Structure 1
Amino acid sequence: MLRLTILTCFLLIVASSAAVNPNWYKNAVVYQIYPRSFKDSNGDGIGDLNGITSKLEHVADIGADAFWLSPIYKSPQVDFGYDISNFTDIEPTYGTLADFDRLVAKAKSLGLKVIMDFVPNHSSHEHPWFKKSIQRIKPYDEFYVWRNAKIINGTRHPPNNWLSNFQGSAWQWNDVRKQYYLHQFAAGQPDLNYRNPTLRQEMTKVLTFWMNRGVSGFRIDAINHMYEDIHFRDEPSANRTDIPKTDYDSLVHIYTKDQNETYEVLKSWRKLMDDHSARTKTDPKMILTEAYASHDLTVKYYNSGSTVPFNFMFITDLHNSSNAMDFKRLIDRWMKAVPNGKVANWVVGNHDNHRVASRFGRSRADEISMIAMTLPGIAVIYNGDEIGMEDRNFTYAETVDPAGCNSGPARYQLRSRDPERTPYQWDNTTSAGFSTNRKTWLPVHSNYKTLNLKRQKGEYYNHYQIFKILRSMKRRPVIERGTSKVEVYGNRILCITRSLGNDTVIVMTNPSNRPAAVNISSRELPPVLIVYAANVDSTLRPGTLVVTNSLFVPEYSSILFTSLNIYWSDHNV
């Protein structure tokens, strides 16, 4: 019996070792799920873990390799889960640890990896650590950033001029401890003190806890806010007269963001995850870092342990007025900056920014996905963008996002993230099939009757069908490891060419209101190409033959052309 047990263990180790795929992420599609808005399983109007589990077949169906869950930790929901009161438990609104384990098991059965949102910058003010810190109970007394008040003419003032991302001072007075605590976001989100080694050790325990439950990586939230200037100096003014002095953007944040110590902590987390993968003989853990920072500071995360630092160019740098040269310049800049051995990434959308169909317009809803899925590296897709979901307009009275509420009635639309967080539109039944409850935590977009997944599944050609075509193409060797070339024709047509052997894939986008004919016959390309996919509103349709000396690109179109051999092999012609 003992021999049999030893043999069994040996075979399991060998099988596990053989199954490890060190390159699993290099051409991956990561699908972000905003749990509160994905699927409600119990009719309370709020999405939950069992709802997500019930819809994982859709995530697999569209070809995702991994899905990233926005926070599901125990939380009073001041910032809808980004204020965490227990880093190793599930918010009861979303379910239980047992529900989470079932979700991970279901994901594994479908070949999907689970990426957790890790929120290291702060906890909730309801966290036991913070309550003990208020009481100066060791070691928790130094787990947060506390400072004495500045007394001016006998009046108490915050320690310095630092501002919260959610408006107003970043300092909150605590009448028990008789000190201010730092909160770079909501007052209910006190900043953790990473200069304290015991705190850092506790956070490594959090990461290990979730890795032991089968998590394949982490998206690290607001990583560049983790450290602050040790001298707590005032930040300089941005000299803006168009916004109030209490607005976060009124200062230049040289002392509360992008401190060098952040990169060192990330290196320790990378080692922790690599050691865990080696010990458990599992695939490398993915680290996705969120830092709205300068290009150079963002790229620096590559060499500090990040699998990919999020590339937000499609969100922060490009918009519906950007021309083809703007796209080329930024794509080239990112590709040149990716260190050897690392992979690029392209973020199409997320829960903090307007949806791609709203940022670029309905007619261009497929364009950014087409570019992201054709370029080398990882594509990051926000739930709903695969069916072209759009922002819903909110009144101030409807607004629940603290970033919007704190901005006031005149400016809430500039800050609120509610428009892009509305429930997923599964079908045309009650609450878009998201919930059986007519009242949902955010109202469903009114266009759900015609814009929903079930309808698109039954149609011949739409956003959903296009996305599946793009994912299928992304798996081909020509996209995975082919050469890349980005060009601009006629100052307005963006052209991305991927080549490998006899395989050629070309994406052309025309963001203008005029059609164009492009001659690329002088290049080493097949004389005839075929339309493999085109955006929903394009007049070109898949299967159309075109010649390279006069490629027709309709207005507001994005077209995926391929060599005939690719189309024929995929369509059994």
Structure 2
Amino acid sequence: MTDLLNAETDAVRRLQGDAWWRSSVIYQIYPRSFADANGDGMGDLQGITSRLSALEDLGVDAIWLSPFYTSPQKDAGYDVSDYCDVDPLFGTLQDFDQMVAEAHRRGLRVIIDLVPNHCSDQHPWFQEALKAAPGSPERDRFIFRDSEDVPNNWQSVFGGSMWTRTTNPDGSEGQWYLHIFDSSQPDFNWKNPEVRAMFADVLRFWLDRGVDGFRVDVAHGLIKAEGLPDYIPPADSASMGGDEEPAPYWGQDGVHEIYREWRQILDEYEGSRVLCAEAWVNPLELMAKWVRSDEMHQAFNFPYLSTSWDATEVRQVINDSLETFAAVGAPSTWVLSNHDVVRHATRLALSADNPQGDGIGPRTENLPEQEHGLRRARAASLGMLALPGGAYLYQGEELGLPEAIDLPDESRQDPTWFRTSGERYGRDGCRVPLPWEANAPAYGFNDSGASWLPQPEVYGPLARDLQLQDENSTLKLYTRALELRRTHRLGEGKLEWLESPDEQVLAYRNGPLTVLSNYSAEPMGHPALSAGTVVLCSAPLTEQGQLAGEATYWVLDA
């Protein structure tokens, strides 16, 4: 009993830090694919609660849940029809409350997704708008336009036009409405005070239920340029933005007023509640605007995620990130995978001319060997987890899961697949349910064997139960890395670059730790190896005591 009380006291103490988010490791849960308690093939909140002990053992500090709100599920829950309730697919509000309570008991904070750019076309407000007349208050909550032809040339992230035409009650053609994503996801008009007031209420609803913060979906898309001017993105542009010159529907200055209002709401609550922006904006100086002292606390570092397997590029983006975010008093965050991009155990081994960083992109051919991708992924992950600042992990990366790219066409569910007639794969390949036990139905995702997306056979040998028995597994690598990160307070540390005999070897210090990452395929020597003890590595040293090719080493001072 004493041990249990001490454990619970430690958990409470971990939750009381004022600026916990500056150095925390946050684990993204994709609810449909994490764990399924009722056996219907869809992950749920009770399933998450039942597996929280695994995340506590892994050593993360918080969890972030992708949407679980009431939704028609045309875009995996990012089409919300009720922002203040749980979709029956995932359970009930009571299930949510129990999950939060259990997470907090284990010392895990809970961040939830918020989707403010758009809602579902089944949201009551949009249904009211469709029934109302042009120019009505109901329609002003969204972006409707009168036009004989399409109002402008903007193309949806999911393919096709950003505009869909309504039909009047008499059958004639009506107004057009804007949707950056699918036609079932109309964009809100954020210049409307009713929209702002509604989301203020949504924030308070979930804060009152104990959530520790919000990851804000499409945080760079809420405000559109005045006049909605025509725009054609550069040929090499990613679908979510990130170009040097922002599109008229991405990264407009008006978003910052919104987040200053939100920050004031969060600051009313005890416990250091946080906002994290999904903002695909470049350069980093522009992204830093999202994390000024009176706006958000964090912004995903997409330039870091998008960097290819190249030592020079990685060093540059790390330098730029630390310098730029520090200039506004914010920590940098680091991330390699999420629910929208090709898993980095596959992506990092793709050729430089076909990086496929954006999972919404074209079909990927000629995939690399799984072992090659995993080797680079393990090395990249160790390089990331020793950096100062916060870090985000995506469920399954701790198992080294590859992208499930060969899903049967008939099983695919991402709207991108349908809107492009199969020309673009979409994001299903990184969203396949997790393998927990190698010999269980659905690899332990549930007891029934049902799975909303089919799991590839390669998931069996990568199941968590097998990796727990293997001291050299990717799971053990992540667990040990997080333990050392916490022990030596690497997230709160400071990076100091070290000289290397070869430019393909990145070397830096953080506290008592030296990190050596060999981006070359050839073995390399480094003097730091003789100055301490290798306490963690993504691959063993060579027989000659050199850094193996495409591997990372943590060397602790002697």
Question: Quick check: TM above 0.5?
Answer: yes
The 2-side partners of 1:142 and 1:59 are apart by: 44
1:403 Cα deviation after fit: 1.4
- Is 1:513 aligned to residue 521 of structure 2? yes
1:333 Cα deviation after fit: 0.6
The 1-side partners of 2:446 and 2:398 are apart by: 20
Instruction: Give 3-state SS (helix, strand or coil) of 1:553's partner.
Output: coil
Specify the alignment match of 1:3 in structure 2.
Answer: none
- Please list, as runs of the form range in 1=range in 2, the aligned pairs for 1:521-536 lying within 5 A after superposition: 528-535=531-538
- What do the CA deviations read for 1:339-363 (whole angstroms, capped 9, x no partner)? 3532111012100011121112111
Of residues 424, 429, 433, the one that matches 2:434 is 424
The answer to whether the 8 Å contact 2:386/2:491 transfers is: no
Specify the alignment match of 2:291 in structure 1.
Answer: 302
1:478 Cα deviation after fit: 5.1
Of residues 131, 134, 143, the one that matches 2:130 is 134
- Please list, as runs of the form range in 1=range in 2, the aligned pairs for 1:373-388 lying within 5 A after superposition: 373-388=385-400
The 1-side partners of 2:227 and 2:347 are apart by: 40
Instruction: Give 3-state SS (helix, strand or coil) of 1:530's partner.
Output: strand
Specify the alignment match of 2:78 in structure 1.
Answer: 82
The 1-side partners of 2:240 and 2:19 are apart by: 40
Instruction: Give 3-state SS (helix, strand or coil) of 2:508's partner.
Output: strand
* Pair 1:430–1:309, CA change in 2 (3 A): same
AA partner of residue 262 (structure 1): V
Q: Please report the RMSD computed on the Cα atoms of aligned residues, expressed in angstroms.
A: 2.4
Of residues 133, 144, 155, the one that matches 1:146 is 144
Specify the alignment match of 2:370 in structure 1.
Answer: none
The 2-side partners of 1:97 and 1:44 are apart by: 19
1:436 Cα deviation after fit: 2.5
The answer to whether the 8 Å contact 2:520/2:549 transfers is: yes
1:273 Cα deviation after fit: 0.5
* Pair 1:206–1:533, CA change in 2 (3 A): same
Specify the alignment match of 2:381 in structure 1.
Answer: 369
The 2-side partners of 1:209 and 1:248 are apart by: 29
- Is 1:260 aligned to residue 253 of structure 2? yes
Instruction: Give 3-state SS (helix, strand or coil) of 2:96's partner.
Output: helix
- What do the CA deviations read for 1:501-544 (whole angstroms, capped 9, x no partner)? xxx201111122210112359xxxxx631111111xx2339xx9
AA partner of residue 299 (structure 1): A
The 1-side partners of 2:449 and 2:46 are apart by: 19
AA partner of residue 424 (structure 2): Y
1:477 Cα deviation after fit: 4.1
AA partner of residue 171 (structure 1): W
AA partner of residue 402 (structure 1): P
The answer to whether the 8 Å contact 1:115/1:217 transfers is: yes
Of residues 537, 554, 557, the one that matches 2:551 is 557
- Is 1:313 aligned to residue 303 of structure 2? yes
AA partner of residue 167 (structure 2): D
The 2-side partners of 1:248 and 1:260 are apart by: 17
Instruction: Give 3-state SS (helix, strand or coil) of 1:475's partner.
Output: helix
1:18 Cα deviation after fit: 13
The 2-side partners of 1:539 and 1:368 are apart by: 15
1:140 Cα deviation after fit: 2.8
- Please list, as runs of the form range in 1=range in 2, the aligned pairs for 1:487-502 lying within 5 A after superposition: 487=498, 489=500, 490-499=502-511
The answer to whether the 8 Å contact 2:404/2:429 transfers is: yes
The answer to whether the 8 Å contact 1:396/1:405 transfers is: no
Instruction: Give 3-state SS (helix, strand or coil) of 2:275's partner.
Output: strand
Specify the alignment match of 2:157 in structure 1.
Answer: 165
* Pair 1:476–1:309, CA change in 2 (3 A): same
The answer to whether the 8 Å contact 2:22/2:492 transfers is: no
AA partner of residue 157 (structure 2): N
Of residues 36, 43, 46, the one that matches 1:40 is 36
The answer to whether the 8 Å contact 1:324/1:488 transfers is: no
AA partner of residue 285 (structure 2): D
AA partner of residue 552 (structure 2): S
The answer to whether the 8 Å contact 1:27/1:480 transfers is: yes
The 2-side partners of 1:94 and 1:105 are apart by: 17
Specify the alignment match of 2:7 in structure 1.
Answer: none
AA partner of residue 297 (structure 1): L
Specify the alignment match of 1:524 in structure 2.
Answer: none
The 1-side partners of 2:531 and 2:41 are apart by: 53
- What do the CA deviations read for 1:374-405 (whole angstroms, capped 9, x no partner)? 11110100001111111112243332111122
Of residues 271, 275, 281, the one that matches 2:264 is 271
The answer to whether the 8 Å contact 1:325/1:488 transfers is: no
Specify the alignment match of 1:11 in structure 2.
Answer: none
Instruction: Give 3-state SS (helix, strand or coil) of 2:409's partner.
Output: coil
Specify the alignment match of 1:402 in structure 2.
Answer: 415
- What do the CA deviations read for 1:196-253 (whole angstroms, capped 9, x no partner)? 0111001100010000001000000001111112212211463x4x99xxx998x986
- Is 1:484 aligned to residue 472 of structure 2? no
1:373 Cα deviation after fit: 1.4
Higher alpha-carbon deviation: 512-521 or 356-365: 512-521
AA partner of residue 452 (structure 1): A
AA partner of residue 487 (structure 2): R
The answer to whether the 8 Å contact 1:39/1:47 transfers is: yes
- Please list, as runs of the form range in 1=range in 2, the aligned pairs for 1:334-345 lying within 5 A after superposition: 334-338=321-325, 339=327, 341-345=329-333
The answer to whether the 8 Å contact 2:24/2:491 transfers is: no
Specify the alignment match of 1:4 in structure 2.
Answer: none
Instruction: Give 3-state SS (helix, strand or coil) of 1:390's partner.
Output: coil
Specify the alignment match of 2:341 in structure 1.
Answer: 353
The 2-side partners of 1:480 and 1:82 are apart by: 31
The 2-side partners of 1:508 and 1:404 are apart by: 40
The answer to whether the 8 Å contact 2:305/2:334 transfers is: no
1:311 Cα deviation after fit: 0.4
1:262 Cα deviation after fit: 0.4
The 1-side partners of 2:390 and 2:154 are apart by: 36
Specify the alignment match of 2:109 in structure 1.
Answer: 113
Of residues 462, 470, 473, the one that matches 1:459 is 470
Higher alpha-carbon deviation: 454-463 or 175-184: 175-184
- Is 1:187 aligned to residue 194 of structure 2? no
AA partner of residue 431 (structure 2): R
Of residues 196, 199, 214, the one that matches 1:200 is 196
The 1-side partners of 2:233 and 2:25 are apart by: 40
- Unaligned 5+ segments in structure 2 are 1-11, 349-372
Instruction: Give 3-state SS (helix, strand or coil) of 1:31's partner.
Output: strand
1:483 Cα deviation after fit: 3.2
Choose 1 or 2 for highest CA Rg: 1
Specify the alignment match of 2:9 in structure 1.
Answer: none
Instruction: Give 3-state SS (helix, strand or coil) of 1:474's partner.
Output: helix
- Unaligned 5+ segments in structure 1 are 1-15, 152-156, 522-526, 545-549, 565-573
1:487 Cα deviation after fit: 4.3
* Pair 1:136–1:487, CA change in 2 (3 A): farther
- What do the CA deviations read for 1:5-40 (whole angstroms, capped 9, x no partner)? xxxxxxxxxxx9998421222210100000000001
Count of residue pairs brought into register by the alignment: 508
The answer to whether the 8 Å contact 1:24/1:283 transfers is: no
Instruction: Give 3-state SS (helix, strand or coil) of 1:102's partner.
Output: helix
The 2-side partners of 1:19 and 1:473 are apart by: 20
The 2-side partners of 1:18 and 1:218 are apart by: 19
1:98 Cα deviation after fit: 0.7
Instruction: Give 3-state SS (helix, strand or coil) of 1:397's partner.
Output: helix
The 1-side partners of 2:514 and 2:481 are apart by: 12
Specify the alignment match of 1:26 in structure 2.
Answer: 22
Q: TM-score, normalised by structure 1?
A: 0.84
The 1-side partners of 2:62 and 2:437 are apart by: 24
AA partner of residue 129 (structure 2): S
